[in-house]
């Protein structure tokens, strides 16, 4: 029996098999949209795929109709409207986010992670801790594999990175464990205000299973407020400054990360033993420790992952050393808060490359983060806007493109400097995404000549 969203009770969660023979419109032909198409076709739905970019529609599978155009097609002839996260659409009982479609078919229990910064690293670290504990774990969502593609993956748990775009209209996703990291200004061009952006991310706490576990950042006012308001019981706090009665914390006297989810110590990990990829952000490790514990990870698995985690590309990734200058790819720093955190964790003099497309946020927080910046080379759409904030704080130079910024940095950097790409902006003025930007930066650095 198939079911149409137009006739069913909107509060009822259907089964995946009920989509057979229904008419489905998928909005967006990027990774999430194509994953939704594949899942719908597997269950026998009749699928139409829409995207403004006709080139993307070339990737549509067989037997899928395609539509393009500057405006969205009429929804009147479709039973289901599946929304890719990158497509802003007003909420409706007929609209289903891609993560909700995936929730109908995914068999693994889920750990969901959200926040402005640190999501990808924390999600990957949770997955590593579970795997090191012998628990089959998949990873996806806003990182790597779209959630719809994980429905047929054999795993006990799935570590899911969740963006505000994915969460804002979600209603069927029900993680067993949720992690709230932090909230800083980002994506205001879509959400309109910091309050609306925070409300979208708060959905994760609201969607948890009734007896699920919420892990939250005691040091972040937004996360602490959501935990107190939405999930006052069963919440576990982590902090690098405080000592929660139940949770995880950084012991200031011993410089150890302490896991104490029941109030008594379960595990201690020395800060100096943490993998280099996560040592600068112990809060992310504490969050992962708690979430992994809640999902059944062992002390050995947690410790092993925390001390050996290799890190992720485009996140403070060392690219090369040329003529005594170290080059670091931090292309994932797509907002001012992320760039500021990266700048504060570099000890050497910095030649900083920043710029790209703004997401409706202010760059003023960057002005006080330039203590170690010897000069800033700015490029792209937001170059002049950032320059207006930095002038008087550090030396500033503006160039049109990132490639020219790399060339100029190589000319101006001195032995012992770090050239840091930490853009504080989205990439879409010159690149497909932050990964594309980081890959281009890496290639251009590797092409730089070495002096004899």
Q: Name the nearest CA neighbour of 251 among 270, 272, 237.
A: 270
Catalytic-role residue among 46, 119, 169, 201:
119
Catalytic-role residue among 187, 201, 281, 359:
187
What is the band of 144 on the pLDDT scale with cuts at 50, 70, 90? confident
Q: What's the CA gap between 289 and 297, in Å, rounded? A: 9
Question: Residue 112: exposed, middle, or buried by beta-carbon count in 10 A (0-12, 13-18, 19+)?
Answer: buried
Q: How many residues does the chain have?
A: 452
Indicate the CATH number of 106-308 among 3.60.15.10, 3.40.1190.10, 3.40.30.10, 3.20.20.140: 3.40.1190.10
pLDDT tens per residue, range 41-58: 999 999 999 999 999 999
Residue 201 annotated among the catalytic residues of the structure: no
pLDDT tens per residue, range 275-305: 999 999 999 999 999 999 999 999 999 999 9
pLDDT tens per residue, range 371-401: 999 999 999 999 999 999 999 999 999 999 9
Question: Residue 449: exposed, middle, or buried by beta-carbon count in 10 A (0-12, 13-18, 19+)?
Answer: exposed
Domain residue ranges of the chain, discontinuous segments joined by +: 16-102, 106-308, 317-445
Q: Are 106 and 147 in contact, with CB atoms under 8 Å apart?
A: yes
Residue 119 annotated among the catalytic residues of the structure: yes
Question: Residue 8 pLDDT > 70, yes or no?
Answer: no
Residue 358 annotated among the catalytic residues of the structure: no
Which fold does the domain 16-102 belong to in CATH? Rossmann fold (3.40.50)
What average pLDDT does the structure give for the chain? 95
Question: Residue 433 pLDDT > 90, yes or no?
Answer: yes
pLDDT at 90: 80
pLDDT at 5: 54
Question: Residue 8: exposed, middle, or buried by beta-carbon count in 10 A (0-12, 13-18, 19+)?
Answer: middle
Mean pLDDT of 302-321: 96
pLDDT at 327: 98
Question: Residue 1 pLDDT > 80, yes or no?
Answer: no
* Packing angle, helices 434-446 and 402-412, rounded to 10: 40
Question: Does domain 317-445 fall into CATH 1.20.1260.10?
Answer: no
Q: Name the nearest CA neighbour of 117 among 138, 139, 142.
A: 142
pLDDT at 360: 93
Question: Residue 369 pLDDT > 70, yes or no?
Answer: yes
Hey, do 16-102 and 317-445 end up sharing a CATH topology, with the first three levels equal?
no
pLDDT at 92: 77
Question: Residue 9 pLDDT > 70, yes or no?
Answer: no
Mean pLDDT of 83-108: 91
Distances (CA, A) of 408 to 25, 121, 401: 47, 31, 11
pLDDT at 93: 75
What is the band of 11 on the pLDDT scale with cuts at 50, 70, 90? low
pLDDT at 91: 77
Q: Are 181 and 126 in contact, with CB atoms under 8 Å apart?
A: no
What is the band of 232 on the pLDDT scale with cuts at 50, 70, 90? confident
Q: What's the CA gap between 377 and 398, in Å, rounded? A: 6
Q: What's the CA gap between 37 and 26, in Å, rounded? A: 7
Mean pLDDT of 50-76: 93
Mean pLDDT of 201-214: 96
pLDDT at 25: 97
Tokens 């006739």 map to which residue? 7
pLDDT at 4: 62
């Amino acid at each position: 029996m198939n079911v149409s969203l137009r006739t069913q009770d909107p509060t009822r969660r259907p089964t995946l098999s009920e989509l057979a023979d229904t008419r489905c419109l998928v909005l967006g032909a990027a990774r999430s949209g194509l994953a939704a198409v594949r899942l719908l076709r597997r269950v026998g739905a009749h699928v139409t795929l829409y995207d403004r970019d006709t080139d993307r529609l070339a990737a549509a599978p067989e037997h899928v109709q395609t539509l393009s155009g500057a405006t969205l097609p009429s929804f009147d002839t479709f039973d289901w409207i599946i929304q890719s996260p990158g497509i802003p659409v007003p909420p409706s009982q007929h609209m289903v986010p891609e993560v909700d479609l995936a929730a109908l078919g995914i068999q693994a229990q889920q750990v969901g992670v959200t926040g402005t910064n640190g999501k990808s690293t924390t999600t990957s670290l949770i997955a590593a801790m579970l795997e090191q504990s012998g628990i089959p774990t998949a990873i996806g969502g806003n990182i790597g594999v779209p959630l719809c593609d994980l429905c047929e993956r054999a795993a006990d748990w799935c570590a899911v990175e969740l963006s505000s775009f994915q969460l804002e209209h979600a209603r069927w996703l029900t993680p067993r464990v949720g992690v709230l990291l932090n909230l800083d200004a980002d994506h205001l061009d879509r959400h309109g205000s910091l309050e609306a952006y925070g409300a979208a991310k708060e959905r994760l706490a609201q969607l948890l299973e009734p007896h699920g576990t919420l892990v939250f950042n005691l040091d972040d006012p937004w996360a602490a407020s959501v935990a107190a308001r939405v999930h006052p019981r069963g919440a576990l706090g982590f902090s690098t400054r405080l000592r929660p009665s139940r949770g995880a914390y950084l012991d200031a006297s011993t410089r150890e990360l302490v896991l104490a989810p029941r109030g008594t110590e379960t595990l201690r990990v020395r800060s100096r033993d943490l993998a280099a990829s996560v040592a600068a952000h112990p809060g992310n490790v504490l969050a992962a420790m708690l979430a992994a514990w809640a999902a059944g990870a062992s002390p050995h698995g947690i410790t092993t992952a925390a001390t050996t985690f290799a890190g992720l590309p485009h996140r403070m990734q060392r690219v090369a050393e040329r003529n005594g200058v170290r080059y670091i790819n931090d292309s994932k720093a797509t907002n001012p808060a992320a760039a500021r955190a990266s700048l504060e964790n570099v000890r050497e003099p910095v030649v900083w490359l920043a710029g790209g497309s703004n997401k409706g946020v202010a760059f003023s927080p960057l002005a006080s983060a330039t203590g170690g910046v010897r000069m800033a080379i700015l490029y792209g759409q937001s170059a002049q806007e950032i320059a207006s904030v930095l002038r008087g704080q550090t030396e500033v130079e503006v160039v049109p493109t990132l490639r020219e910024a790399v060339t100029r940095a190589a000319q101006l950097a001195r032995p012992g400097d770090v050239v840091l790409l930490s853009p504080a902006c989205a990439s879409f003025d010159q690149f497909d995404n932050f990964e594309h930007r980081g890959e281009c930066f890496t290639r251009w650095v590797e092409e730089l000549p070495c002096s004899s």
